[in-house]
Chains A and B, each alone.
Chain A
């Protein structure tokens, strides 16, 4: 370490010495389970590295993060993992099952952030979009009515194998506008899916599938995560009618108090706009700071879920509705899958 950087690091770690001298000691290393891939790298670059530089706290990452894994962690009574990444609907479910704890927002002391990201039980750290995309060279749909019209737009489709993605898009193709989607008319959505299922070659489970299948020309149109297709010249895309959603990082029930003290520090780093800008360089998903747009490169604004032009044409996931109705819809979904 060069002398100057050492002095800087020492200065930066001074405040944490102050806390150490207080009654509680904070852990020097905590563990996090996140969803992996580029998204995990963006957490490393955007938030974990700055935290390490400022406080010396290390965050060890693991993936993937399924709700079943969280349940196993809590029920086996282990206290080794503090932080866990969950989707917006899953946060509600995990709360209902008693698998996560409340955050101490006073201790986190966040920079300004969008209200929906500041959940009692989770820190909404990453906006992501689910949008229509296609292989370059095919006819380009402008909305979901056109996307599902296989006569005017011939080609095979690739749709997510998850009802909370498919049903609202199917409803849009019957002419329902994005602000009238919820409460969701489940029967009408399934009726529409039954009409279009013959054009669907693959129902995907892993986010890497749709771009690969489009490249291989196995399918021509997909509904997929924006971060998987933006910036790739092989694909065209449109945010119109897409779904904006928020991923949360929650605290595992039964975490040690010392680990939680360290976790609040990481959450604080996650609220800073300059860190979110670093994360957005790794993956084109955005953090919850209202000041972020000014720090993002102008020529890439069209790629981000929360840019003004994209935010206005998408609907926002209704996690409460899915928490209420998800289980019943899941059974109908399995029955629908049997009819394929």
Chain B
């Protein structure tokens, strides 16, 4: 089969992608530049500068995404490392436990946190029963609650690629380092960690970009007190409805995500060179 017939097989898929996904996105991004009556306009971008509140929500979103990503790495890396050291059977069970939440609706998982962390929830009742606190600790309806919820939902996205990379690391490399007299700490930082770095970077980036667009978790666990960009877009699109303003904000969000991705590619190429 030559190249051109191969392309003919692919063409319908390509058309579907372009027509069903790419064109609507381009149309949506174009909305901010086009006014039905007057033609080309930058008014909606000027609006963003005049009322900086929307950009501040974007800044808030970046900050919370960063915190949630760091929390994810702090939990996910040791977890993946621990899973690597397990026996075959235990490892299978551990993977199942990590993947299982994937099969439960994100809404259900998010509401479950209310049962666990609420004022009358499991954690608060245990704390009070143990006599550690008198009044319930406010875990929910603040940034802490949103961060916990987001870290929970996104953990598999980090753990699975990280675990796949760790399991491929040859044990003999670590043994060689040990036989040359390196202490465990040096082996970890000089041999093991650099080998997991590409997967860690890719997983972190994935989690961070997914955080930027999170909607359900901040809406439910934030109690309306943690403004994130998706919730603002929902208001602008569904309630007000100022699609042009929403389009301008989406464009900026897309650019931010692309810049982060470009930065990652640059680092990645440097590392492999």
**Does A216 touch B at the CB level, under 8 Å?**
yes
A187 → chain B, closest Cβ, in Å?
Answer: 16
Give the size category of A's interface with B.
Answer: 20 to 34
Contact of B120 with A201 in the complex, beta carbons under 8 Å? no
Chain B residue at minimal CB-CB distance from A204: B224
The residues in B between 153 and 181 inclusive whose CB is less than 8 angstroms from any CB of A are none
Task: Known A203-B224, A338-B60; judge A218-B118 contact (CB<8 A).
Answer: yes
B64 → chain A, closest Cβ, in Å?
Answer: 12
**Does B66 touch A at the CB level, under 8 Å?**
no
**Residues of the B chain whose Cβ atoms lie less than 8 Å from the Cβ of A67:** 238-241
**Does B253 touch A at the CB level, under 8 Å?**
no
**Does A217 touch B at the CB level, under 8 Å?**
yes
Count: A-B pairs, CB below 8 Å: 63
Query: How far is B111's CA from A216's CA once the two chains are assembled, in angstroms?
Result: 13
Instruction: Give the interface segment out of A15-23, A105-113, A188-196, A329-337.
Output: A329-337
**Residues of the A chain whose Cβ atoms lie less than 8 Å from the Cβ of B240:** 67-68, 327, 330
Pick the contact of B223: A68, A201, A335 (CB < 8 A).
A201
Query: How far is B117's CA from A216's CA once the two chains are assembled, in angstroms?
Result: 12
Pick the contact of A340: B120, B140, B225, B238 (CB < 8 A).
B225
**Residues of the B chain whose Cβ atoms lie less than 8 Å from the Cβ of A8:** none
Chain A residue at minimal CB-CB distance from B232: A334
**Does B95 touch A at the CB level, under 8 Å?**
no
Contact of A161 with B114 in the complex, beta carbons under 8 Å? no
Query: How far is B224's CA from A218's CA once the two chains are assembled, in angstroms?
Result: 14
**Residues of the B chain whose Cβ atoms lie less than 8 Å from the Cβ of A161:** 224
Pick the contact of A334: B53, B138, B141 (CB < 8 A).
B53
Chain B residue at minimal CB-CB distance from A337: B227
Give the size category of B's interface with A.
Answer: 20 to 34
Binary interface encoding of chain B residues 17-53 relative to chain A, with 1 for a CB under 8 A from any of its CBs, else 0: 0000000000000000000000000000000000101
**Does A205 touch B at the CB level, under 8 Å?**
yes
The residues in A between 45 and 72 inclusive whose CB is less than 8 angstroms from any CB of B are 66-69, 71
Query: How far is B146's CA from A105's CA once the two chains are assembled, in angstroms?
Result: 50
The residues in A between 205 and 246 inclusive whose CB is less than 8 angstroms from any CB of B are 205, 216-218
**Does B70 touch A at the CB level, under 8 Å?**
no
Contact of A69 with B224 in the complex, beta carbons under 8 Å? no
Contact of A334 with B219 in the complex, beta carbons under 8 Å? no
Task: Known A334-B57, A338-B56; judge A205-B224 contact (CB<8 A).
Answer: yes
Contact of A202 with B141 in the complex, beta carbons under 8 Å? yes
Chain B residue at minimal CB-CB distance from A212: B114
Contact of A202 with B118 in the complex, beta carbons under 8 Å? no
Binary interface encoding of chain B residues 98-139 relative to chain A, with 1 for a CB under 8 A from any of its CBs, else 0: 000000000000000010001110000000000000000010
**Does B208 touch A at the CB level, under 8 Å?**
no
**Residues of the A chain whose Cβ atoms lie less than 8 Å from the Cβ of B224:** 161, 202-205, 337
Pick the contact of B238: A68, A216, A338 (CB < 8 A).
A68
CB-defined A-B contacts under 8 Å, sample of 12: A66-B241, A67-B240, A68-B237, A71-B241, A201-B223, A202-B223, A203-B224, A205-B219, A216-B120, A218-B120, A327-B240, A334-B227
Nearest first, the 4 A-B pairs at minimum CB distance are A203-B224, A202-B223, A68-B238, A68-B241
Given A68-B240, A331-B51, A338-B53, 8 more contacts at CB 8 Å? A66-B239, A201-B138, A201-B223, A216-B114, A217-B119, A218-B140, A327-B240, A337-B227
